[in-house]
């Protein structure tokens, strides 16, 4: 049933979790109570006790967000990245509510649902753009695959018993080569995801940069690299090495033939994130990782 409400919000949830089902119920009830229309995927609606006034759509394509002012995503990092795919393709801002473990992409936690509804109803949120990366895979001089990522593009080995032999390149010039388990090319947003686990630096989101982080490299010089946002990063898989695999945001994958070349550059299309808080990224970092800050006295007055 299609609502006649002038404002419509799309809701995406990980309905495999009981917490997400209850959270979705509360958000939908709050939005409807304030006169907003709600749209959900039919596959998720089947798992949710929703009133008949909620609109359902069948295909999870960017077009399902037509006419929506906001995409609210309830879930962990995987669900938030699924929402980011729809957000980027449609241009509709995404507001994430973390129901998982860390959730750096989320703007709110499970206990903030009332606040989320209130801020959406009153339009008390801002929208910021997050850098993405565009990815090209070359083989035998031809582009054989194109992709993108919000967090990272990871070139990884397939065979557990053999390393992937690669040469790294920045802006058309070789940097170094070694055997490794893989290479992560990340955005500042992705610096707290896979790149962080691989030993890369934490980069504040407002910093415009690209990261290249080796995974378990067998080399003396295999440090994380931080480059200009206009740089072009390249990972060349050596012809004599076993084939590798490319993962984008841990969601989309393609096999890489031996000798493949993966190029990463700043993405042409950003992801738009709705923000409820003006708190600094420093505070978010401390909260997400439960960092010890006892004894801090602050700047001298």
Residue 151 marked in a binding site: yes
Residue 46 marked in a binding site: no
Residue 187 marked in a binding site: no
Residue 250 marked in a binding site: no
1, 53 Cβ separation under 8 angstroms: yes
Residue 77 marked in a binding site: yes
* DSSP of 175-222: EEEEEESEEEEE-TGGGGTHHHHTTPPP--TTS--EEEEEES-BSS--
Residue 34 marked in a binding site: no
The catalytically annotated residue of 59, 77, 114, 118 is 77
Residue 192 marked in a binding site: yes
In three-state secondary structure terms, 111 is helix
Residue 104 marked in a binding site: no
* Residues ≥6 apart with Cβ < 8 Å to 210: 133, 185, 186, 187, 226, 227, 228, 229, 231, 233, 264, 265, 266
Residue 89 marked in a binding site: no
Residue 194 marked in a binding site: yes
Cβ contacts of 117-122, under 8 Å, gap ≥ 24: 117/26, 117/27, 117/30, 117/31, 117/34, 118/30, 119/276, 120/9, 120/31, 120/36, 120/70, 120/72, 120/95, 121/30, 121/31, 121/34, 121/36
Residue 173 marked in a binding site: no
Measured distance CA(234)–CA(236) in Å, rounded: 6
215 pairs with which residues across the strands?
182
Can 77 be counted among the known catalytic residues?
Answer: yes
Class of residue 293 by CB neighbours under 10 A (exposed 0-12, middle 13-18, buried 19+): exposed
Binding site, by residue number, is 77-78, 82, 151-152, 162, 181, 192-197
Just list the catalytic residues: 77
* Known binding residues for NAD(+): 77-78, 82, 151-152, 162, 181, 192-197
């Amino acid at each position: 049933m299609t609502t006649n409400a002038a404002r419509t919000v799309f809701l995406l949830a990980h309905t495999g979790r009981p917490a997400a089902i209850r959270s979705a119920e509360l958000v939908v009830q709050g939005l409807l109570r304030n006169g907003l229309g709600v749209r959900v995927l039919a596959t998720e609606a089947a798992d949710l006790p929703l009133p008949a006034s909620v609109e359902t759509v069948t295909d999870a394509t960017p077009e399902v967000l037509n006419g929506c002012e906001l995409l609210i995503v309830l879930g962990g990092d995987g669900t938030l990245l699924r929402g980011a795919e729809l957000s980027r393709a449609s241009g509709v801002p995404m507001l994430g509510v973390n129901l998982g473990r860390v959730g750096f992409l989320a703007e709110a936690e499970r206990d903030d649902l009332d606040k989320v509804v209130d801020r959406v109803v009153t339009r008390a949120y801002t929208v910021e753009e997050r850098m993405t990366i565009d990815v090209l895979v070359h083989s035998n001089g031809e582009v054989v695959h194109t992709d993108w990522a919000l967090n990272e593009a990871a070139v990884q080995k397939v065979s557990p018993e053999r390393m992937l032999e690669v040469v790294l390149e920045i802006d058309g010039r070789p940097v170094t080569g070694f055997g490794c388990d893989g290479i992560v090319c990340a955005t500042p947003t992705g610096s707290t995801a896979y790149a962080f686990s691989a030993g890369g630096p934490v980069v504040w989101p407002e910093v415009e940069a690209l990261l290249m982080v080796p995974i378990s490299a067998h080399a003396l010089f295999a440090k994380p690299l931080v480059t200009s946002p206009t740089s072009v990063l390249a990972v060349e898989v050596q012809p004599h090495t076993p084939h590798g695999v490319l993962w984008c945001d841990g969601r989309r994958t393609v096999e890489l033939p031996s000798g493949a070349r993966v190029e990463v550059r700043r993405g042409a299309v950003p992801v738009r994130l709705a923000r409820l808080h003006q708190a600094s990224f420093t505070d978010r970092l401390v909260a997400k990782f439960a960092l010890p800050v006892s004894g801090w006295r602050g700047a001298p007055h």
